[in-house]
Amino acid sequence: MSTYTNFTVETDADGIALITWDMPGKSMNVFTVEVMDELEAILKQTVEDAAIKGVVFTSGKSTFSGGADLTMIRGMFSMLQDERARDPQAAAQKLFDAAGRMSWLFRAIETSGKPWVSAINGTCMGGALELSLACHGRVVSNSKSVKLALPEVKVGIFPGAGGTQRVSRLTDAQSALQMMTTGQSLAPARAKAMGLVHQVVEPDQLITAAKQMIKDGLKPVAPWDEKGFKAPGGGVWTPQAAQLWPAAPAILRRETAGNYPGALAILKCVYEGLQLPFDTALKVEQRYFTQVLQTTEAFSMIRSLFISMQELGKGARRPAGVEKSEFRKVGVVGAGFMGASIAYVTAAAGIPVVLIDRDQAAADKGKSVSEKLVADSIAKGRMTKEEGEKLLSLVTPTPDYATLSDADLVIEAVFEDRAVKKAVIEQIEAVIPETTVFASNTSTLPITGLAENSKRPDQFIGVHFFSPVEKMMLTEVILGKDTGDKALAVALDFVAKIKKTPIVVNDTRGFFVNRCVFRYINEAYDMLTEGVPAAMIENAAKMAGMPVGPLSLNDEVAVDLSQKIMKASIADLGPNSVKPEHMDLIDKMVDVLDRRGRKNGQGFYDYPAKPAKKSLWPGLKDLYHQKPASEIDVETLKQRFLVTIALEAARTVEEGIVTDPREADVGSILGFGFAPYTGGTLSYIDGMGVKTFVALAEKLASQYGDHFAPTPLLKDMAAKSETFYERFNPYAEVGKAA
């Protein structure tokens, strides 16, 4: 047996080498420079050893691999930035060589002359799937935990280690493009149907089946290296291709508005590559990969959606020196839709949860939310009946507050009313011990004010969930004026346990996400009152990269909720806090027209019975005089949406609400879908340059109002040519410690 740091190699009596990838100290295997160095050495060893007849490659962990390591990616970008300043051409060449290393290593495996079989036992994504596709055989466990994907497009790049070329030669071009431009995950059966894997077997038969492929005479030659190979569907110059390729760019533009260079590069790689010999096609892919890596979009998306998201998920903001929390019981008070959903995700994480409401019937109704979610998961094959029963057994509905006496954490999720919350806080604190952390789930009410009702404000914290809780990945953790380190650590440990990404913000009305969201919606109100047609408002927002238009979003959160928030702002902050024309619009929508949003079937949209789709309410055009479309600049509409949101994010930094730029970026994307290709609100500003952003904001302010005026912080940063990631460097303390 040969031993490496990250691999073991064992050769059996049949001459089959079993390579097991098991990185020490890591929960998942990832590609690092060291891993590739060792893999290169192993390849050389297996080629030179005449006793080795074939190779089975597998993982020693419960998952196969998640792809590249974030430190390697960060190192590549750091190298690019440093080299670019000195010699741009040399930097591009260096990046080209680095980008191609994995691709040509996998090609060396493919052309080694000995058969390799990948035995996939769990999640296999990115470079790990590209490695597997370079093997001559692929056997997959039929476990439901197995997912195969090339998700690189979701972080701004594309499968650049042979992925675009091998997938498009194993399956038809349309399926290949669909898989890679969406980054979708494939279950084993779907992967087999597409021709990406050869066998799907029981987990305990995985290695046996992989070895048997070699014993049965698996050819050590890829199909595309055989004479006369034709791609499935016939390649580019066929009748089927004549239908696909003219439409493909238009479909991609409809879905992405041209905002994602990585997605467009996939089309180019597949279209050009299918017309070339395989090695030449790999060089084309390498060239495009190098180009995309140099784009602002790739840099910003990788930083926010890959590196920062992982860092925050792993507790980047967790206070040091506080013991990790063990959750033996969590209490959720308030069994309405939000509280019931919080109880569900808690139980799904394996934590016993007590769900409390005013009486047994109300508490039982709350548990029924979990019952429905479990039934849906079982019906879709995502959960077994036994797993569903176990989850439901962890949820105990009751009106009895005394059951909270041994809870490690209590989450209050009652109606958004200070008086109601005050009464509940007092009832809870009457029974919980001093060691229990109290979290309030509130979307707008400042935590410091709520904590005034607590006898132990240091143990009081805000945890703001987003609806639907079981799907939304973000959680805002809000620090009150007196919140202590233990409360923060417990909240972050809980968020990690339920597999959400946290951002930590200081206390303010609306916190971070809602402040930004309402800027987005308010800009749509401005446009409506200016006479911009509603369809142009919605389409411009989507073209800017937002997942849903602001009017559609307002319907989802409820138009009458907007009315309540506006009235509360006027009561607390004075009449100047809300534009009169906005108040008039929403009062008319709610009080006169009873158009409250999706919940009552009519808002800015009409919601007919299924299967009919929602459509914009025609009456909107009668509320204000409509401008002709020819007088409206769509590019300016797009800028207005992104700039007003980014300005609000900058204000939260200036006010000390957000202290880490990673959290503004990740929070804006996960919280309300802020144009992901920008990398988030602050990366949007950094990406164009603060000086350019300030000039754009001043131009918009002169035309559309003072809410576009750049803040003093932005002006100061522009004068000093700073970025948010330089001025508020989240790694500064790490650097000092090192």
Q: Give residue-wise pLDDT tens across range 363-412.
A: 999 999 999 999 999 998 888 999 999 999 999 999 999 999 999 999 99
Residue 226 has pLDDT above 70, yes or no: yes
- 413 confidence band (pLDDT: 50, 70, 90): very high
Q: What is the DSSP string of 137-194?
A: EEEEE--TT--EE--GGGGT---TTTHHHHHHHHS-HHHHHHHHHHT-EE-HHHHHHT
Cα separation of 382 and 365, whole Å?
A: 24
**According to the model, what pLDDT value does residue 242 have?**
86
User: Phi/psi at 252 (nearest 5 deg)?
Assistant: -65, -40
User: Phi/psi at 501 (nearest 5 deg)?
Assistant: -100, 125
Average pLDDT over residues 291-308: 91
Residue with tokens 């959960």: 383
Structure tokens at 119: 């035995």
Of 366, 311, 361, 322, nearest to 344 by C-alpha is 366
CB neighbourhood size of 376 (10 A): 13
7 by DSSP, 3-state: which? strand
The string of pLDDT tens digits covering residues 181-194 is 999 999 999 999 99
Give yes or no: 582 in active site: no
Average pLDDT over residues 205-209: 96
User: Phi/psi at 433 (nearest 5 deg)?
Assistant: -75, 170
245 Cβ contact partners less than 8 Å away, ≥ 6 residues apart: 236, 271
Torsion of CA 720, 721, 727, 732, to 10 degrees: -110
Residue with tokens 């300005």: 647
The beta strand positions in 389-454, using DSSP E, are 395-398, 409-412, 437-440
Q: What is the DSSP string of 678-723?
A: GTSHHHHHHHH-HHHHHHHHHHHHHHH-GGGPPPHHHHHHHHHT--
Residue 737 has pLDDT above 50, yes or no: no
Cα separation of 691 and 714, whole Å?
A: 8
Structure tokens at 249: 């760019």
Cα separation of 160 and 289, whole Å?
A: 6
User: Phi/psi at 414 (nearest 5 deg)?
Assistant: -90, -175
**Which run of H or E residues covers position 354?**
strand 353-356
Structure tokens at 431: 């029974």
Say how many residues make up the chain.
738
Among 70-84, 341-355, 620-634, the range scoring the smallest mean pLDDT is 70-84
Angle between the N-to-C axes of helices 163-170 and 278-293, in degrees from 0 to 180, rounded to the nearest 10: 130
The string of pLDDT tens digits covering residues 351-366 is 999 999 999 999 999 9
**According to the model, what pLDDT value does residue 738 have?**
32
Task: Please give the DSSP secondary-structure letter assigned to residue 131.
Answer: H
737 Cβ contact partners less than 8 Å away, ≥ 6 residues apart: none
Cα separation of 681 and 305, whole Å?
A: 13
Cα separation of 596 and 601, whole Å?
A: 8
Handedness of CA 696, 702, 708, 712 (dihedral sign): positive
Domains in the chain, CATH or no CATH each: 2-294 (3.90.226.10), 330-510 (3.40.50.720), 514-558+567-581+627-656+660-727 (1.10.1040.50)
Of 122, 113, 129, 140, nearest to 166 by C-alpha is 129
Of 542, 590, 547, nearest to 566 by C-alpha is 590
**According to the model, what pLDDT value does residue 278 have?**
97
628 by DSSP, 3-state: which? coil
Residue 646 has pLDDT above 90, yes or no: yes
- Determine contact, residues 674/680, Cβ cutoff 8 Å: yes
Rg (CA), the chain: 28
pLDDT above 70 coverage of the chain, percent:
98
Q: Strand pairing of 124-125 and 460-465?
A: unpaired
Structure tokens at 578: 């809300």
Cα separation of 219 and 116, whole Å?
A: 9
- Catalytically annotated residue among 464, 582, 625, 707: 464
- 70 confidence band (pLDDT: 50, 70, 90): low
Angle between the N-to-C axes of helices 360-379 and 337-348, in degrees from 0 to 180, rounded to the nearest 10: 50
**According to the model, what pLDDT value does residue 218 have?**
96
Residue 529 has pLDDT above 90, yes or no: yes
Q: What is the DSSP string of 61-96?
A: SSS-B--B-HHHHHHHHHHHHHHHHH-HHHHHHHHH
* Beta bridge mates, 501: 474
Cα separation of 367 and 363, whole Å?
A: 6
738: amino acid identity, one letter? A
Predicted TM-score of the model (pTM):
0.91
Angle, alpha carbons 113-194-110 (nearest 5°): 15
Of 616, 615, 641, 613, nearest to 700 by C-alpha is 641
- Determine contact, residues 289/157, Cβ cutoff 8 Å: yes
The string of pLDDT tens digits covering residues 152-170 is 999 999 999 999 999 999 9
**According to the model, what pLDDT value does residue 554 have?**
95
* Beta bridge mates, 139: 119, 199
- HEC secondary structure over 235-288: CCCCHHHHHHHHHHHHHHHHHHCCCCHHHHHHHHHHHHHCCCCHHHHHHHHHHH
Highest mean pLDDT among 226-230, 333-337, 662-666: 662-666
The beta strand positions in 548-609, using DSSP E, are 605-606
Residue 236 has pLDDT above 90, yes or no: no
- Determine contact, residues 537/528, Cβ cutoff 8 Å: yes
Among 235-249, 270-284, 481-495, the range scoring the smallest mean pLDDT is 235-249
